[in-house]
Every structure is written in structure tokens, then in C-alpha cells.
Amino acid sequence: MDLLKELLHARKVIEPGKHVYFIGICGTAMASCAAAMKERGYRVSGSDENVYPPMSTFLAEQGIDIHHGYDPAHLTEAPDWVVIGNAISRGNVEVEHVLNQRWTYGSLPELLREVFIRGRRSIVVTGTHGKSTTTSLIAWILDFAGRNPSFLIGGLPGNFPRGARFTDSEWIVLEGDEYDTAFFDKRSKFIHYLPEIGIVHNVEFDHADIFDHLPAVQKTFSHFIRLIPSNGLLLGNGDDPHLQPLLEVPFCPVQRYGLTASRVIIGKSEGGWTSFEMDGYGYELPMFGDHNVENAIAAISVARHIGIDPATVGQALKAFKGIRRRLEIIGQPGGVTVMDDFAHHPTAIAKVIQGLRAHYPSSRLTILFEPRSNTTRRRVFQKELSQALALADHAFVGEVARANLLAPEERLQLPQLIQEVQDAGCRAEVIADIDEMARRVAEGAQVGDVIAILSNGGFGGIHQKLLALLESR
């Protein structure tokens, strides 16, 4: 079957040579897919209001025309298909033009499904935490074993030049996000990914702007699980209590993994490495923290299922280079270790701090946290956030991002948060001004300290501001 034959959603043939237009083209996944389609002979163009390197440079190198900003004048000729990015909303002037003209449009996950996934063997990694690292591990193991997989990762893996690649391999590895697909499709993105092997790493309440409660999150994961065929495999974390009811399914094979379920014995952790034993075979992972061992266990389970021998898997794990913004050391000026991590959910924050505690047992641990995600901006995790941050020695908290868009009673209550963290024995304070926070942290830092910056955004550039101050002391 020709993988490029049809876009079923469009109900018409869209073959190479046809024009595909991307609204919001400079997003990482959008740009990667646009470039891959250009390589396959499609006419590709698009627009974005945030056009800057490195993505603008990458697209220009592919010979893709990019319009700066949104304007219906960019669409004087009707495209054969319009891809509307997840960040694009009603009111966008190009979107309104597409709707008014009754042109064929769809989401990026739909495009992925019909052009890049359908006809391939799809490995989809889902879960509230650990998706990017686990997806990177699986893609790297398959690549190391000579399988040359396609992949789409929501981060920058150290073993590959970018987070997406599309090859002629039978395998494609996808990070399956539970966030909604587009303004016109409120289903989770992973619903579109046709899983043969589905990994559900964990299930917790998150994305409070999309889901009302934990049962709603469990429901969308159950919808994903229903897509796995009878000759496929569901891999689920047997140690996650919120996931267990979802694993009781009769229509596909189910395999449980986890620190307990896989009979894992964790050995020593030193020099950024962790040794562990799984089912009698020893592995070494150039990462620390029990949560990263869990990520590796999931990847090992996938590799074993598709027939990659343990020795090859072990060699691949040793050569794994991690992923940007996951316990990434960004500098050690003056004997102070500064780390960057994407953690923003209370559970992820707690696991990061616990991992740092275990790896740096004699170091003072300072956490800089930005309440930026659509969940942590809200007070739904008020208690859980305070409990997680209290595991540090000193916590600095920035202002609530876009607080004006939330009702006062809905916002995370920073004075209460700080008081609860202090009551638990951790020094804590709120500093809204990023320059002031960087100065205060740098002034108090001592040789041997570990400082971890936790945010799912840029945190006002505090990373480089803090490093510069520490280097200038």
C-alpha cells in the first residue's frame, strides 16, 4: 500500500505535488512534518507569528516558504489541505478565512496518522509523566539495533539531531500526548496514532483546562487502550494504582512492568550513572533517579517484545545521551551545580527532588519553580505542590503565569503555598522579579550546592541570568 496515497479525513486523494499549508508552522512537530512532506514531493508553505531561529532557519534550509504573521492574503490560492496547529484558536484570521472558504482542513495528528503512521507499526508512549524520555529511549534502542525507526518526540533527544524523523522503516515511535488535538477536535492527540504497541506509563490528574478530574483523564486513556489490536500489546505500569483498572481488558494482550512488577533491583548510583537488574539481566543507565529507571524498564519491555536481544539493549542504554531539560546539568560555575528540568506537575517535582537527594546526599538543594502550566497555575494542586517543594532545602517560587486570565479564587494561592512549605521545614519565598530571584539565589549559593530550575517554559531567562551571576562571583 502506498503510504502517501490518501488522506482519509479529506475524502480525496492528496498525492505528492499537492499543496499543503501549515498554520502555526514553526512549532517543533509542525516544522518537522512540513519538512518531511517537502522531501516527499508535496508543495509546502505556512505561516506563524513566532518566526525565529532555529526553526525558521531549519524550514528555510528545506526551501519552505514561511509567512511572518497571519493574513488571509497569504492564501490567495486555495491549498489542497490546511493543517491547523494545536496552539491556533478561533479568531485567527487565516483560520476564519479557511472556514469561510469551506476549504479542507485538519489537525497535525490527523496528518501524521494518514501520511506517516498508517501502514506502519506504531509504538505509542503515553502517560502523565516520563513520555519524552521513554519515547527517546525506545527510538534510540531501535536505531541502535539497526531498525532505523521514524519517531516524534516532544523534546530534544541527545542521540538525534532533532525531535522528529520520518524514514521508510516499518516502525514509528510516537510520544502520545493526552492534551486535546485542535480547537475543532477536543479528543486527546494519541487517539489518532493507531497504536500496535501502546505504553501507558502512569495516569494522574493534569491539564486542568481540559479535564475536570482524574476519572476524566482515566477515560481518555481507556479510549486509547481500546485502539490496540488483538495482535498488538498493551504495556502498563503495574505499580501505578490509578492505571490498574484500565489494564483489565479482554481484547488485547497486556503486560505489566515497573520497579515491582518487573522485579527490578536498583544498584549503585554514582557519577550520573545508575545500575540495575531486570529479570536477571544487568543494565547501566547514564541517568539517575528511580523515575528514569522506570522509563528504561518500559523501553526494555518494548525492545524485548519486538525481538531485540538484551545485550544489544544494554549497549544502547549505555550509549543513551538523555534528553534536553530532563535533569540536564547546564553549568557548574564556582562549584555550584545548576540543573534544568521540565518538571511542573507535583508528582514529577517530587520525583526530581527525591532523585537529586539520592544522587547528591550531602548537597544543599535549592529549587526554583515557575507555576506556568495550565494546572499548576490553578489551586487544584495547592497542597500537593507544597508537599513536593518542601522536599528541598530552599524553594524560590515565581509569580503565577497569566494570573489575570484566572478568577482570583481559581488561582494558585502563593502566600498559602509558601506558608505550607515553610511549616514543613523548608525555606521558601516568592519573588516575582526574575532578575531579583537570580541575584538572591546566586548570593546565597555555596560550593557543593545543587540548584534545580523547574519549569515547562522559559522562566524569564533565569537559567542564563543565574549562570552569569555565579560565574562573575
Check which CATH number belongs to the domain holding 125 and give it: 3.40.1190.10
Kind plus residue range of the DSSP H or E element containing 37: helix 28-39
Please tell me which residue, 211 or 242, carries the higher pLDDT value: 242
The grid coordinates of residue 225 equal 487502550
CATH number at residue 11: 3.40.50.720
Q: What percent of the chain has pLDDT over 90?
A: 60
* 112 part of a folded domain: no
* 323 part of a folded domain: no
Is 83 a residue whose pLDDT tops 70?
yes
* 217 part of a folded domain: yes
**Number of structural domains in the chain:** 3
The answer to whether the beta carbons of residues 395 and 428 sit under 8 Å apart is yes
Residue 415: CB atoms within 10 Å:
8
The answer to whether the beta carbons of residues 66 and 45 sit under 8 Å apart is yes
Cα radius of gyration (the chain) = 23
Q: Which of 266-280, 381-395, 414-428 has the lowest mean pLDDT?
A: 266-280
Do 467 and 388 fall within a single domain? yes
Please tell me which residue, 104 or 5, carries the higher pLDDT value: 104
Do 91 and 198 fall within a single domain? no
3-state secondary structure 138-175: HHHHHHHCCCCCEEECCCCECCCCCCEECCCCCEEEEE
Do 292 and 397 fall within a single domain? no
Average pLDDT, stretch 407-423?
90
Judging by DSSP bridges, how do beta strands 185-188 and 180-182 pair with one another? Answer: antiparallel
* 113 part of a folded domain: no
* 115 part of a folded domain: no
Do 259 and 301 fall within a single domain? yes
Peptide bond before residue 109 is cis, with ω within 30 degrees of 0: no
Kind plus residue range of the DSSP H or E element containing 48: strand 43-48
Question: Nearest CA to 333 among 436, 449, 453?
Answer: 449
Do 411 and 293 fall within a single domain? no
Do 357 and 451 fall within a single domain? yes
Do 187 and 284 fall within a single domain? yes
pLDDT at 269: 67
Which pTM was predicted? 0.84
Do 21 and 142 fall within a single domain? no
Is 13 a residue whose pLDDT tops 80?
no
The answer to whether the beta carbons of residues 266 and 258 sit under 8 Å apart is no
What residue numbers bound the domain in which 381 lies? Answer: 328-471
State the amino acid at position 343 in one-letter form: A
Do 245 and 355 fall within a single domain? no
Exposure on the CB side of residue 458, measured as CA atoms within 13 A:
4
* 95 part of a folded domain: yes
Asked which of 107, 130, 157 is the last residue of a domain, the reply is 107
pLDDT at 407: 87
pLDDT at 347: 86
* 392 part of a folded domain: yes
Please tell me which residue, 440 or 208, carries the higher pLDDT value: 440
User: pLDDT per residue over 294-346, tens digit each?
Assistant: 999 999 999 999 999 999 999 999 999 988 888 888 999 989 999 999 877 88
Do 284 and 144 fall within a single domain? yes
109: left (phi over 0), alpha (psi -120 to 50) or beta: alpha
pLDDT at 9: 44
Asked which of 107, 139, 164 is the last residue of a domain, the reply is 107
- Give 290's pLDDT tier (boundaries 50, 70, 90): confident
Is 428 a residue whose pLDDT tops 70?
yes
* 62 part of a folded domain: yes
Asked which of 274, 293, 318 is the last residue of a domain, the reply is 318
Do 419 and 306 fall within a single domain? no
| Cα gap 31→59, rounded to integer Å | 7
**Burial of 72 (C-beta count, 10 Å sphere; 0-12/13-18/19+):** middle
CATH number at residue 431: 3.90.190.20
| Cα gap 137→373, rounded to integer Å | 25
User: pLDDT per residue over 109-142, tens digit each?
Assistant: 999 998 899 999 999 999 988 888 999 999 999 9
Q: Which residues of 100-110 are buried (b: 16+ CB within 10 A; e: fewer)?
A: eeeebbbbbbb
Do 341 and 410 fall within a single domain? yes
